[in-house]
Amino acid sequence: MNAVSAGYTIEENASLATHNTLRVAARARRLATLRDASRLPQLLDELGTTPLVLGQGSNVLFTGDYAGDVLLMDTHGVEVDEAEDVTRIAVAAGEIWDDFARWSLSQGFAGLENLILIPGNVGAAPIQNIGAYGVEVAEFIESIEAWDTQTGSVAMLDNAACAFGYRDSIFKRERDRYIVTAVRFALRHSRPLSLDYAGLRQEIARMGYTNPTPYLVAEAVRVLRTRKLPDPAVIGNAGSFFKNPVLPKVQAEAVLASHPDMPSWPVGDDHVKLSAGRLIETCGFKGVREGDAGISPRHALILINHGQASGEQLWALAQRVIDGVEQRFGIHLDPEPRIL
C-alpha cells in the first residue's frame, strides 16, 4: 500500500474480500482508505472519479470485480453537546454502529436499544435508514454532514432533507451524490420504550424483566437477534437480503385471504407490508443451498455464503428466490443491499 499522503491511502487492484460481509472475493480498481475527513476533497481530486463508499461492506453484493474506485471510511470521533432537554452527538462516519449504540446506552441515553447489533458503520446507517424491532434510526438523526460531489462542497442536510422512508433516504435515491462524513444525533435520557414488535415483549418477560430499561431492552434484542440472525463474523451474510414488500391494501388482502397466518403490518391507511421471510419460506427456499450459496435455515431473508461462493452465484440464487416468489404470489421482492 502506498502512503500517498497523511490522512488517506490508495491501493491499486485491491482485494475487497475482507471489506464485504458476504465475503465475496471481488477486487476493486483502486481502494482508497480515508482516515482524516478533512482530506476528502484532496483524495477525490487525486482519484478523479466518484468512488463507491463502503463502511463495513454489510449492505453490498459484488457480482464481479468492481471496475471503479472504492472508498473506505475509516474516520473516528464523537463530539457531545449537552443541552437541557436533549444531547446532540456528532459521530464520524467510520465509527462502528453497534459500538456507538452501546456507548449511547451506557451513557444513559434512550432510543437506540432496539437497534443494537446491526452491522455496519455510523455513516451507512442513514443511507438505508437502518431499522429493527419497530424503530428506525431516522427518528434520532438531527442532521447529516456530507460531501456533495455535485457541487464540490460540504452539505448539511437536516432530517427533512434526508427524506427518510422504509429502508430508504435521499442518499439511496440520489445515488453517489453525497459522501456522508458525520451524523448528528439528538438523544434524550428518556423515551417511551418500543416493545410492540413481534416477540420483543415476550422475550423481555421470558428474561424476567418486569420493569425494563433501555439497557435491558437492548439485552432482549441481543438475544432475539442472536437466535434468529446468523453472525456475519461467523458466516458471510448481509443481514436481510430482501425488503419486506409494501403493497396496496387490496393486493395484500388477496394474499392474506389465502394465507391468513402471513405476518403483516399496516403502512399508512392504504398499504400493507408483508413478511418477505414468510413469502420466501412458503415457496420452499428456506435453508436451500446451491454450492456455497444459500438461504439461511434460520431466517429466509438472509442470503449466506457458506464459504467460497462467488458474487455471481449468490446473485443467481437471489434471483431464483425473487422469481419463485413472483411466480407464486405475483409479488416482486427488491433486494435490500446494493447489487454491484
Q: Which is nearer to ligand EPU, 34 or 318 (CB)?
A: 318
- Nearest approach, Cβ of 236 to ligand EPU (angstroms)? 14
CB nearer to ligand EPU: pick between 244 and 305: 244
For CA atoms 315, 321, 327, 331, give the dihedral sign: negative
Q: How far is the CB of 214 from ligand EPU (least distance, A)?
A: 16
Other beta carbons within 10 Å of 331 = 16
Of 68 and 165, the one with the shorter C-beta distance to ligand EPU is: 165
Least spacing, CB of residue 81 vs ligand EPU, in Å = 30
The nearest distance, CB 26 to ligand EPU, in angstroms, is 21
Kindly list the distances between the CA atom of residue 108 and the CA atoms of 111, 191, 209, 214, 218, in Å, as whole numbers in the listed order. Answer: 10, 11, 18, 9, 13
167: annotated active-site residue:
yes
Question: Which burial class, exposed, middle or buried, applies to 40 when counting CB atoms under 10 A from its CB (0-12, 13-18, 19+)?
Answer: buried
CA angle 309, 314, 315 (to 5 degrees): 150
DSSP H or E run through 251: helix 249-258
Question: Shortest gap between Cβ of 42 and ligand EPU (angstroms)?
Answer: 34
H-only helix segments in 66-207? 97-106, 170-173, 200-206
Residue 301: exposure state from Cβ atoms within 10 A (0-12, 13-18, ≥19): buried
Q: Is 84 part of the annotated catalytic residue set?
A: no
- Of 26 and 280, the one with the shorter C-beta distance to ligand EPU is 280
Binding-site ranges for ligand EPU (CB under 6 A)? 132-133, 197-198, 228-229, 239-240, 243-244, 263, 275, 277-278, 281, 286, 299-301, 336
Residue closest to ligand EPU, measured at CB: 239
Which H or E run includes 316?
helix 311-329
- Helix ranges (H only) for 60-196 are 97-106, 170-173
Beta carbons of 61 and 315 less than 8 angstroms apart: yes
Q: Which is nearer to ligand EPU, 4 or 256 (CB)?
A: 256
- Of 143, 169, 240, 296, the catalytic one is 240
| For ligand EPU, the closer CB: 101 or 301 | 301
Choice among 102, 167, 184, 278 that is catalytic: 167
Q: Closest distance between ligand EPU and the C-beta of residue 258, in Å?
A: 16
Which residues lie closer than 8 Å to 275 by C-beta, 6 or more apart? 244, 262, 263, 264
Active site residue 175: no
**Among all residues, which ones are annotated catalytic?**
167, 240, 336
